[in-house]
Amino acid sequence: MIDLKMTNMKLEYAGQMNMYVNYYTKEVKNEFDNESIGIILCTGKKV
């Protein structure tokens, strides 16, 4: 999954992405798929 943010990185974005990846892994992914990953792209890097 990819999440595009037009702000600096915030810690809650990581928690949000973790929730999305866990949901996808549990509810959508089948046994033949590779591991799910999440990528967060932000305009800045200050946390």
| DSSP calls for 27-45 | HT--TTSPPP--EEE-SB-
Q: What is the pTM of this model?
A: 0.80
**What integer pLDDT is reported at residue 8 of this predicted model?**
93
Q: 6-44: per-residue pLDDT in tens?
A: 999 999 999 999 999 999 999 999 999 999 999 999 998
Checking if the pLDDT of 2 tops 70, the result is yes
Q: Which candidate, 17, 19, 22, places its Cα nearest to that of 38?
A: 17
3-state secondary structure of 8: strand
- As to burial, measured by CB atoms within 10 angstroms (0-12 exposed, 13-18 middle, 19+ buried), residue 12 is exposed
**What integer pLDDT is reported at residue 44 of this predicted model?**
80
**What integer pLDDT is reported at residue 3 of this predicted model?**
96
- Which pLDDT band holds residue 47 (cuts at 50, 70, 90)? low
In angstroms, rounded to a whole number, what is the distance separating the alpha carbons of residues 47 and 28? 31
